[in-house]
Amino acid sequence: MSISLFKDKVFLVTGGTGSFGSTVISRLKEHHPRRIVIFSRDEKKQHDMRIHFNDDRLKFVIGDVRERVSLERVMEGVDYVFHAAALKQVPSCEFFPLEAIKTNILGGNNVIELAEAHHVKRLVVLSTDKAVYPINAMGMTKALMEKMMIAASRNLSDVKRQSVSLCGVRYGNVMYSRGSVIPFFIDQMKAGKELTVTNPDMTRFLLPLAQSVDLVFHALREGGNGNMYVRKSPAATVAVLAEAICKLFNYDKGYRLVGIRAGEKMHETLISEEEWLRAHDEGDFYRIEPESSGLDYEKYFAKGEQTPADMHSYTSANTRRLDVKETIDLLLTLPEVKMELEAFGK
């Protein structure tokens, strides 16, 4: 990617103290930005991040995307926005769906509208596989956030469309991100417990955090208005992942089955069958065009798309499936796993 895209530019990362924020900031710093604004609610994580990076180009702002006024204060003069702020935990959103609506939908709308109002060059919203055929509140709110971005991109004036781009990315299970299954398994091993597996045949995409950042950088570079971008990723069954971790750590207590929890899917879907009609293969990525580029109601009701014979979805069940050895090899690429292995004396 051209350094000129980053050099002397101002970046805003909402929810910037999470797993994604820490990684994307590390990468951005290498390309000489003028300023990176980290906007989040967590003062402790901001304090830790400030000490860790020790970089004058980083500006830390306490605020909430739900509060339009606090968000508007930081949007002035920003070139690029990564919108990562969200309620992401399925149980939390299931128990408190109104809170998910306030953050993921209304907060997302604040980011989208203010990015447009302040002529941000490109906004990349971060979404999830759970937004495709959603069955839980987290996925439903993320799906509506995507729809708001697409609708806003469709409504841009011809003049503004030349300088403002609104797009998004979608990814599945990011390996070793906060609340994901790998650190959960490792915590269970530290406690001397059996690993708990919901269903041995359940599949999950396995995407290293660094590759999730590659995805948002691809969207930052290519980012057509209303487009969603997906990174091609391998997958494994939950049983294979548990076996790989046990083998890697030489842990002999194994795992036990506990059953599928509320809000969980057997397989993750990153591109629906309906979206496959508009999906384009771009090497390591898929690009999904928006449903339409205008507000022609007559066209909407009178004209559709021809259904191709090979119409299918892109899921963790039909992507490349890793075996135990391949999963171990992928786990060993994660710095966090290497650190845990050292702590275990492996």
Q: Write the pLDDT tens digit of every residue in 218-240.
A: 999 998 999 999 999 999 999 99
Q: Scan for tokens 């786990």, then name that residue.
A: 331
What type of residue is 227? N
pLDDT at 303: 61
**Closest residue by Cα to residue 245 from 302, 300, 187:** 187
Q: What percent of the chain has pLDDT over 70?
A: 93
Q: Inform me whether the pLDDT recorded for 2 exceeds 60.
A: no
Q: Inform me whether the pLDDT recorded for 258 exceeds 80.
A: yes
- pLDDT band of 306, cuts 50, 70, 90: low
Mean local confidence (pLDDT), 93-122: 97
**Closest residue by Cα to residue 83 from 92, 91, 74:** 74
Cβ neighbours of 313 (radius 10 Å):
18
- Give tens-digit pLDDT for 165-198: 999 999 988 898 877 889 999 999 999 999 999 9
Q: Domains of the chain (ranges plus CATH)?
A: 3-171+208-231 (3.40.50.720)
Mean local confidence (pLDDT), 148-171: 92
Strands (E), 78-120: 80-83
218: CB partners within 8 A, 6+ apart = 229, 231, 282, 284, 285
Q: Inform me whether the pLDDT recorded for 284 exceeds 60.
A: yes
pLDDT at 295: 58
Q: Inform me whether the pLDDT recorded for 259 exceeds 60.
A: yes
pLDDT at 158: 85
Q: Inform me whether the pLDDT recorded for 3 exceeds 70.
A: no
Q: What integer best gives the mean pLDDT of the chain? A: 91
- pLDDT band of 292, cuts 50, 70, 90: low
pLDDT at 36: 97
pLDDT at 130: 95
- Give tens-digit pLDDT for 321-332: 999 999 999 999
DSSP state of 280: E
Of 253 and 264, the one with more pLDDT = 253
pLDDT at 308: 58
Mean local confidence (pLDDT), 114-132: 96
Q: Which long-range contacts (CB under 8 A, 24 or more apart) does 40-47 make?
A: 40/14, 40/15, 40/16, 40/85, 42/17, 45/17, 46/17
pLDDT at 19: 85
The model carries a pTM of 0.91
* Segment among 10-19, 143-152, 237-246, 300-309 with least mean pLDDT: 300-309
Check 88, 130, 232, 265 and give the catalytic one.
130
pLDDT at 304: 60
**Closest residue by Cα to residue 126 from 231, 227, 216:** 216
The answer to whether 130 is a known catalytic residue is: yes
What type of residue is 21? G
Q: Inform me whether the pLDDT recorded for 298 exceeds 90.
A: no
- Give tens-digit pLDDT for 129-140: 999 999 999 999
